């Protein structure tokens, strides 16, 4: 089970930190990713981190503004979002993947329920 938290309403230029806590499995054995989906849009890759945290990827749209991290001892992955823009408004999902570390949402096996992030201009 994946449970996200930390979403909310923030003004442009502000920051939020999303958390995703995983239960029911071995957290250190899965790669983790963050995705987002705006109304009427397809689910979009945001960031991904390998099991150990050794490798990280970001979408071009968030690179330099967002930071993904994980603490395996806490079964939690984070997404620190700075310099938020109205275009970042979406439902943000965390996801877990057991084998192939990927930026495609199609590769991920387990998903959270999502948390809404709204950035006002």
Q: Is the pLDDT assigned to residue 42 strictly greater than 90?
A: yes
Does 100 have pLDDT greater than 90?
Answer: no
- Which of left, alpha, beta for 75 (phi over 0: left; psi -120 to 50: alpha)? left
Could you tell me the two tokens for 111?
């998903």
* pLDDT of 24 higher than 90: no
Does the structure show a pLDDT above 90 at 25? no
Pairing relationship of beta strands 8-11 and 115-120 according to DSSP bridges: parallel
Q: How confident is the model at residue 101 (pLDDT cuts 50, 70, 90)?
A: confident
For 56-69, write each residue's pLDDT tens digit. 999 999 999 999 99
73 pLDDT more than 90:
yes
- pLDDT, mean of residues 3-8: 96
Residue range 99-105: average pLDDT? 89
Sign of CA dihedral 90, 104, 59, 68: positive
Which pLDDT band, with edges at 50, 70 and 90, does 108 fall under?
Answer: very high
83 vs 24, higher pLDDT: 83
- For the four alpha carbons of 59, 119, 16 and 117, in that order, the dihedral sign comes to negative
Q: Write down the pLDDT at residue 1.
A: 93
Mapped onto helix, strand or coil, the DSSP state of residue 44 is strand
């Amino acid at each position: 089970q994946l449970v996200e938290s930390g979403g909310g309403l923030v003004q442009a230029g502000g920051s939020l930190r999303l958390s995703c806590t995983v239960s029911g499995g071995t957290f250190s054995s899965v790669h983790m990713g963050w995705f987002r989906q705006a109304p009427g849009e397809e689910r979009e890759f945001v960031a991904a981190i390998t099991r150990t945290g050794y490798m990280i990827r970001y979408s071009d749209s968030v690179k330099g503004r967002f930071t993904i991290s994980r603490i395996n001892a806490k079964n939690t992955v984070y997404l620190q979002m700075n310099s938020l823009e109205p275009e970042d408004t979406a439902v943000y999902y965390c996801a877990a993947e057991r084998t192939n570390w990927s930026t495609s949402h199609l590769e991920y096996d387990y998903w959270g329920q999502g948390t809404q992030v709204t950035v006002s201009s």
